[in-house]
Amino acid sequence: MAAYKKINLILLAGSLLGAATAAPAQTNPKGHLFIIGGGNRDDQVIARFAELAGGKSAPMVVIPLASGDPVDAAKTQVDQLKRLGAGDVEGVIFKKGEADREENLAKVRRAKAVFFTGGDQVTLVSFLAGTKMLEEIRRIYDEGGVVGGTSAGAAIMSRVMLTGDDRLAGKDEESFRAIRSSAVVTAEGFGFVPANIVIDQHFLARKRQNRLISVVLEHPGMTGIGIDEATAFIVGPGGEAEVLGASLVTVFETAAAGPVTSDALGHLAAKGITMHLLKSGDKYTLPVSGAVK
């Protein structure tokens, strides 16, 4: 294997969140991850989520805590699921520090599917990090249920979670103008996907290629998956994934890339990066998790 130059990346609030949110070792979960890149949630996409969960009789919960208006976010998603045939779905809304109250845990325990709405992923992590509720959600996935999310609810799927902040952008300066080191601010996500995967969302619509490439080069061996709006990346047991929706999923693989180098301005460079563009109906197998530097 080629020798890599390690580029240090400072994790936002790592000391606070790291131990609380780090994913346990992968245990061959039997369920599905249903990761939507934000934007419109077309009926055909959400109908597939409900189908994977078990259809009309399957209990489902919507967790809208990333949103600035969780009541409205929950109602919107619950209403869509019910309109598409889900017969047992409800929102789970609570104040920070109340995730493990029995009335909240009881709703999640009986669920076969969990859906995280959009908003601020750092806020969502602050509600669930280190809770029994998050453990219950992992159990649902491990035992064959569905864990899904859109936008912020997609970002939390990976261990290295993009916060959206650019450490190097000045006031009124466009963020992520270049592929460079120490720019992308990350935090510890929930790690439902393997540790060598990082998820980005709103990907093509918001031109987020620079930040995702920067992150995978700062973590040699990592694979970046950028999911565009109105598009789902559905991960099944064994890491077999498929794309569903109106746009594309972009994949950057760095496992076979040459040494990562940088210039005086911090621009990152490497040879041998592999890129895939996946349309609706295309399949992709997640790379086997390995050491990420």
pTM: 0.90
Q: Is there a contact between 137 and 169 (Cβ–Cβ < 8 Å)?
A: no
Mean pLDDT of 5-30: 46
12 within domain boundaries: no
* Maximum Cα–Cα distance across the chain: 59
Q: Render pLDDT for 199-257 as a digit per residue (tens, 0 to 9).
A: 999 999 999 999 999 999 999 899 999 999 999 999 999 999 999 999 999 999 999 99
> 92 versus 28: which is more confidently predicted?
92
What's 127's domain CATH number?
3.40.50.880
148 within domain boundaries: yes
% of the chain surpassing 70 pLDDT:
88
292 within domain boundaries: no
Mean pLDDT of 106-126: 98
Domain span at residue 234? 29-168+176-280
Please report the pLDDT score of residue 20 as a whole number: 42
Please report the pLDDT score of residue 15 as a whole number: 33
240 within domain boundaries: yes
Q: Provide the domain count of the chain.
A: 1
11 within domain boundaries: no
Q: Is there a contact between 116 and 133 (Cβ–Cβ < 8 Å)?
A: no
